[in-house]
Amino acid sequence: MGDILLNKENDILTVVMNAPKNNLMTTQFHKEFEAVMEKVRVIAKSDSIRGMIIYGGGRHFCVGADVDALMERSASEVYDDTSGDLPESHIEEKHHFTFLRDLPFPVISVVTGFCIGSGSEIALNCHYRIVEKGARIGQPESTFGILPGLGGIAGTIELCGMKNAYELVMTGRLFPSEEACELGWGDILTDKKHGLAEAYSLIDFISEEYGEFSPEDYRRYIRLYKIRGD
């Protein structure tokens, strides 16, 4: 049994991250994550899925990359400025993050504890982020000379606007769950241990009210969900 578990129940997929050291993104973590995402890609083509939820099995969503391994990998993956080609390994890794946006069902991250670095990029590439109180979020890569390269910059700009994205990415500061929702990074703020139930509720609402899900129209569903009782 691996550290990242993929389950299916009632036509809903769950990806549970249970890697050591609060889901530290080691080389092994990335290999397992990519393997699970390949399984998701195959399932999405053949099965009827109502939604997918990604969350950490412990206190934290994900503490991001192993800094030493990331610095070593960044030094070896040299950008070819003559051709403009990125390293193939980086392209493959980024694909397994950003393809979440195009899945034909809602993808929701339930953010608890620390959600930082590459871990926050998993959340950013989901359609929705349900943030529990007490969470701490950020992209501190810039503090040691690396920028988020797995969709984090584009995702932060889309959700928070250019000005806020520039400040968040370039300072690398961590921000609390309440601010995440104020900035637009988070979609729903919940009490601790309530995020998973809210994610199931959102999937039920979309599937029952609309049947099919359009990734291009994902913001409309969350707006209607939030005003459904008004």
**Domains along the chain?**
4-226 (3.90.226.10)
pLDDT digits (tens, 9 = 90+) for 27-49: 889 889 999 999 999 999 888 99
Q: For 150-160, how does the pLDDT look when each residue is reduced to its tens digit (9 = 90+)?
A: 666 777 888 88
70 pLDDT band, cuts 50/70/90, is low
Provide the whole-model pTM. 0.88
Burial 11-44 (b: 16+ CB within 10 A, else e): ebbbbbbebeebbbbbeebbebbeebbeebeebb
**Closest by alpha carbon to 205, among 178, 184, 187?**
187
pLDDT digits (tens, 9 = 90+) for 97-110: 788 999 999 999 99
Between vectors from CA 37 to CA 102 and to CA 45, what angle results, nearest 5°?
55
Residues 115, 13: Cα–Cα separation, whole Å: 21
